[in-house]
Structure 1
């Protein structure tokens, strides 16, 4: 699809040449992406056994409650990021390790689903001879987030695949330090790439994002 191919994948803000419409579209897409990612993790955890009496506070669908400062900074600089970590009590799971992984991976899976929905809207609009960069950027942001989320670095979903001690009262401090350090490492890598031109993560993951985009848009 020509309209999609005219937009860089992954989409990153050009601070030297900011376009108001693309910047606004990107911000909307990011808020959608982090909300869907976080709410899907919470839903999966609840479905698998981590039900809570305050579920209404868990499912508020307000993106402002899901904003992580470092995650938003990485979105602005690198086109990917993460929401605030969704608290999951693995002690309520019948199979703690497996269900924790499934709950965390529900986030990027939801982003991939959202990308397909946005792409469907783009396709329908294309049939009538119109395009909307909002939905195109929404598609790109969500596939980028789904791919980068598989990195085994906290607080990304892929970190759940690392065989570390499960969260609990005895290692709560360790888990907090582990997640915070991961976010700082990711931010450091992003800043290094941005200001030195070195390709550390993007060298490997950007082609994966582009390949996924080509696969999903094939034949459209």
Structure 2
């Protein structure tokens, strides 16, 4: 899978990146809200975030970045772990992991769909514009969902990876993570806006894409 689309801007790709963004981010945030709700916290539900409707989830600046740059984000889902039934730290790990997990599933789904179209010849007879739209939408969806998995699993606050790492660690480490939260957003901004640092994510993206493609090929082999 070619991830150059994540790092290079192309005006023609904007509408298709928007479609991919809406699907990826809406389901990502819904997953956080859904798992929190299943664990006993209805904070997100009461604030209208337990939905796949993209409007409550969109952060304007994050939307601009994902459309015109390499990464972006949606509005964080509010979670109150004090409402969780059972182990609160485990609950936070599950809530944090839910978003990237859904993006991983979406990346696999779109990869299978892309392979199906390519192998079945379903696009034959469509206009060049229609083929281009389908092709770029699917590629954008795969790239953005893979990118969200890798990006969100970085152990940098306020990303999901930092919450997973924090609440898997012993409680005595909480002081360290609290201090890390003070500097995490600055480190995140450096990662987003310095091209040389963005390259650090290329290999994790490549490995994830290779794994997703391998699994997708196994699924497609059952039908072709």
TM bucket (normalised to shorter chain) is 0.7 to 0.9
Structure 2 counterpart SS, 1:153: coil
CA distance in 1, matches of 2:98, 2:106: 12
- The counterpart of 1:136, out of the listed 132, 136, 139, is 139
How many residue pairs get aligned? The number is 194
Deviations 1:47-74 (A, max 9, x none): 1121359558222322122122443344
Aligned equivalent of 1:12: 6
The whole-number CA distance in structure 2 between the counterparts of 1:191 and 1:141 is 17
**What TM-score do the two structures reach when normalised by structure 1?**
0.76
Q: Do 2:153 and 2:160's aligned partners in 1 also have CA atoms closer than 8 Å?
A: yes
- Aligned counterpart, 1:187: 189
2:51 aligns with one of 51, 60, 85: 60
Q: Which has the higher helix share?
A: 2
Partner of 2:174: none
Tell me the CA shift for residue 78 of structure 1: 4.5
- Give the 4+ runs in structure 1 shifted more than 6 A: none
Distance 1:102 1:85, change over 3 A: same
Q: Following the alignment from structure 2 to structure 1, what is the Cα–Cα distance between the partners of residues 81 and 50? A: 19
Alignment of 1:5-84 (within 5 A): 5=1, 8-9=2-3, 11-12=5-6, 14-15=8-9, 18-20=10-12, 22-51=13-42, 54-55=45-46, 57-76=48-67, 78-84=69-75
Structure 2 unaligned runs (5+)? Answer: 124-130, 168-177
1:19 Cα offset (Å): 4.1
The question of whether the paired residues in 2 share the 8 Å contact of 1:67 and 1:83 is answered with yes
CA RMSD of aligned residues (A): 2.8
Deviations 1:4-24 (A, max 9, x none): x4xx31522634xx242x221
TM-score by length of 2: 0.74
Residues 124/75 of structure 1: CA separation in 2 closer, same or farther (3 Å cut)? same
**Aligned ranges for residues 134-173 of structure 1 at < 5 Å?**
134-163=137-166
Query: 1:96-146: CA deviations, max 9, x gaps?
Result: 111111101100000001111111211221122236221121111101111
State the alpha-carbon separation in 2 of the partners of residues 54 and 110 from structure 1: 19
